[in-house]
Amino acid sequence: MLFETIAKTGHEEIVFCHNKDAGLRAIIAIHNTVLGPALGGTRMWPYATEQDAINDVLRLSRGMTYKAAVSGLNLGGGKAVIIGDPGKDKSEALFRAFGRFVNSLGGRYITAEDVGIDVNDMEHVFRETEFVTGVHQVHGGSGDPSPFTAYGTLQGLMAALQVKYGNEEVGKYSYSVQGVGHVGMEFVKLLRERGAKVWVTDMNQDAVRRAVDEYGCEAVGLDEIYDVPADVYSPTALGGTINENTIDRIKAKIICGAANNQLATDAIGDELQKRGVLYAPDYAVNAGGLMNVSLEIDGYNRERAMRMMRTIYYNLGRIFEISARDNIPTYRAADHMAEERIEKIGKLRLPHLGVQAPRFQGRSGR
């Protein structure tokens, strides 16, 4: 059954990681390495079943392939999930055990932060392998990628506003932001700095209170976020929130956020197109974090990273152009753009050459 699944999804490799003493249960999925080594974050989540974890890592790793491709990066797609509660189950031993599994792949997979993981956790992973990004600046890393993901999301938003309304005046419009974690809070900050009206919701009530108290947002309930009269709906938590149960409730004319896999099905994306709702494809919008950590491979430079974020604006513009030209939904236009690059670059590679492990520069002592 599993081999049938990965045959359909096109994955190259799945690694199941287990260390009883450390309490580690993790899965690493490498989707595609045609463009380069697979780079993608590690997510820690209390999955209800192991199958849920497998489904998530397969979906997320495939998304990373497309994200890297559409962003013009010389990287492939991979992802890892650790089964556990990030509020209770973290330990040095767990992350170091995971780091050893990452290291055993010899650079085919490079990890980073994702949901439930922070820079302190990456420090433990870094003690066991050099194939990790998002570590502290003292090690030549870039630290927390959240501000870059948020800033890249702002670039995608501006591209969407330009297409839909003919301007990039972020502050003229209102936003429903679903999720105010690391990325969501940074995104809210950027919106409020520009004077925008912002509604927020999150399971973490402390985060909601911070968004209200520090940034002047208006809090609504978890389910109420779909009903607010916002111009833009911004999912910045987990995926699948645009589905058959919510699509009729979302009043926004633009959907642009940092969450992965926002559309529950392709049919939902088709329906958004029919309704005239402009969907900014998630993996093109939220590529800022990936762009940022990718620079660590050759030696990190923050100024270069900030310049790189601007390319998200132009990438989204190109996706919207393809969508309009070919009369296809934007999610399909993004897929076509990514697949075309993978195919063309793949033909340039000599068949006897494998993916070489990257050479990390500017790092000091694990």
Active site positions, annotated: 79
Long-range contact set of residues 96-99: C-beta below 8 Å, sequence gap at least 24: 96/22, 96/124, 96/125, 96/127, 96/128, 97/17, 97/19, 97/21, 97/22, 97/24, 98/17, 98/24, 98/26, 98/42, 98/125, 99/124, 99/125, 99/126, 99/127, 99/128, 99/129, 99/132
* Pairing outcome for strands 278-279 and 197-201: unpaired
d(CA 292, CA 294): 5
Beta strands in the chain (DSSP E): 13-19, 24-32, 38-39, 42-45, 76-83, 109-110, 174-178, 197-201, 218-219, 232-235, 254-255, 278-279
CA neighbours within 13 Å on the CB side: how many for 175? 33
Give yes or no for a contact between 220 and 228, defined as CB atoms under 8 angstroms apart: yes
153, 187 Cβ separation under 8 angstroms = yes
Pull the structure tokens for residue 222: 């978890």
What angle separates helix 119-126 from helix 92-104, to the nearest 10 degrees? Answer: 60
CA distances from residue 99 to 106, 116, 182 in whole angstroms, order as listed: 12, 16, 23
> What does the alpha-carbon distance between residue 149 and residue 291 come to, in Å, rounded to a whole number?
9
State the DSSP H helix or E strand holding residue 332, giving kind and residue range, or none if neither: helix 330-348
Q: What are the beta bridge partners of residue 45?
A: 83
Q: Which phi and psi angles does 65 have, rounded to 5°? A: -60, -45
Strand, helix or coil for residue 137 = helix
Instruction: Give residues with Cβ within 8 angstroms of 325, minimum separation 6.
Output: none
The DSSP output letter for 356 is P
